[in-house]
Structure 1
Amino acid sequence: MDVLIHLFVGLHIIGIAALLGGFLTQMKAMGQGTARFVPGMLHGAFTMLVTGVALVGLNEADGHHVNNIKIGVKLAVLIVILGLVYVKRDEERVDKPLFGLVGLLTMVNIFIAVLWT
């Protein structure tokens, strides 16, 4: 079971890398006002959602304690990110504050995962 959990943790990290990487590659365009949500950001957010839910289930099935409040907060933040990216995915330009909000929420989600023990 540990190998499966580690596999899903790796996939979860790949998802966050795709979401954050998509944001970071658009930083210069954000400064020019031409930033857009690239498909990798949407795919990364979906990957995070699926693997995160799988990780909760696998950890509970293995008898590990899961902090449900932390998971709920992370899920809420991810749902907001996913909603914003999904709704605005086809637009050629996304407003700077909205694009920045997605980047900020992505980093908030990372810090919640790492610092909330």
Structure 2
Amino acid sequence: MEFLYNIVVALHFLGLASLIGGALVQMKARGERQINRAIIHGALVQVLTGLILVGMQEMVDSLDRDPNHAKVGVKLLVALVIAVVALINEKRPTIPDGVYFTVFGLAVANVLVAVFW
């Protein structure tokens, strides 16, 4: 079960890379920024794999992991906000800087919560 858990962790990291990488690609596109598919897919992968990881931690005793529910709640809320903002704005040809920096800032904030909490 540990191997399967590690695969889900790797997928979670790949979702993070897609989300932040997709946002970084838009960094230089002043006035023409948009929500690209990498941001959408990364955000959705992050939410899905995060939920799977917590479920596995709760249900599989052999993993010997006990999730911090407050931290998980904060990270889930931030990830859901990122996903909703991205999905609402994905069809727009350009997005305001505020939307872009909200998505990018929340993605980085989620990483900081994961590392320092």
Give the TM-score normalised by structure 2: 0.95
Offset from partner CA, 1:61-83 (integer Å, 9 cap, x none): 22321100000000000111001
Offset from partner CA, 1:34-64 (integer Å, 9 cap, x none): 1000011101111111100000011112232
Output the amino acid matched with 2:56.
Answer: L
Coordinate RMSD, CA, aligned: 0.7
Hey, what's the Cα distance between the residues in 2 that align with 1:13 and 1:93?
Answer: 27
Segments ≥4 residues shifted beyond 4 Å: none
2:72 equivalent in structure 1: 71
Say whether 1:57 aligns with 2:55: yes
User: Alignment partner of 1:97: what SS?
Assistant: helix
Hey, what's the Cα distance between the residues in 2 that align with 1:11 and 1:53?
Answer: 12
Where structure 2 has 5 or more consecutive residues not aligned to the other structure, the ranges are: none
State how many pairs are aligned. 114
2:108 equivalent in structure 1: 107
